Structure 1
């Protein structure tokens, strides 16, 4: 189960994800993914490719262990120095829905916690 089928697919999207992560500091960002890229990497069948990743200060706060697509994306995000700098002191929600649109919503963490 630990095949990492989607790493190379997400790697292709990293420049776009980096850009949208930066822009998400102002507004929620969305862009359409190419479903055939993911279908070529591995079949998700009926479960599809939908997922949510909640990242707080660079750490995932929800359970993504059931989604290889989400796990592989997070693997690349946490290895990318530019992305790590953006995620610091932020709350970021990354999701992909049934329409295959990736959404990124970023908020600053409150210092009053």
Structure 2
């Protein structure tokens, strides 16, 4: 299994992701990814590039182990100082669907746990 083959591709999107994460504090965000960027990094074939990452306080709370594209994105997010700060005390859901639209939804972590 190749490791981190999508990391370089995600790095290209990091400034845009950072901006949309900040904006997601006020309203849900989404933007279109360029599918050819990801196809050149690795062919996912029929399985596609769709994924969901659910994070709470900067930690993934769902299983992304089967998705290299999701794992590489999370690796990049957790190592970015600005993004790490945004993720604290928040629930963040990042998803990419079949139409290659990356969506970000952010809510505050409930204090009533």
The reply to whether TM is greater than 0.5 is yes
Quote how far apart the aligned CAs of 1:3 are: 1.6
Quote how far apart the aligned CAs of 1:2 are: 4.4
Quote how far apart the aligned CAs of 1:30 are: 0.3
Secondary structure of residue in 2 paired with 1:52 = strand
TM-score by length of 1: 0.99
1:1-113 paired onto structure 2 within 5 Å:
1-113=1-113
TM-score by length of 2: 0.99
Q: What is the total number of aligned residue pairs between the two structures?
A: 113
Quote how far apart the aligned CAs of 1:53 are: 0.1
Task: Please give the alpha-carbon distance, in whole angstroms, between the structure 2 residues aligned to 1:78 and 1:25.
Answer: 18
Poorly superposed stretches of 4+, deviation over 2 Å: none
- Residues 73-106 of structure 1: CA distance to partner in whole angstroms, max 9, x if unpaired? 0000000000000000000000000000000000
Gap runs ≥5 in structure 1: none
Quote how far apart the aligned CAs of 1:5 are: 0.5
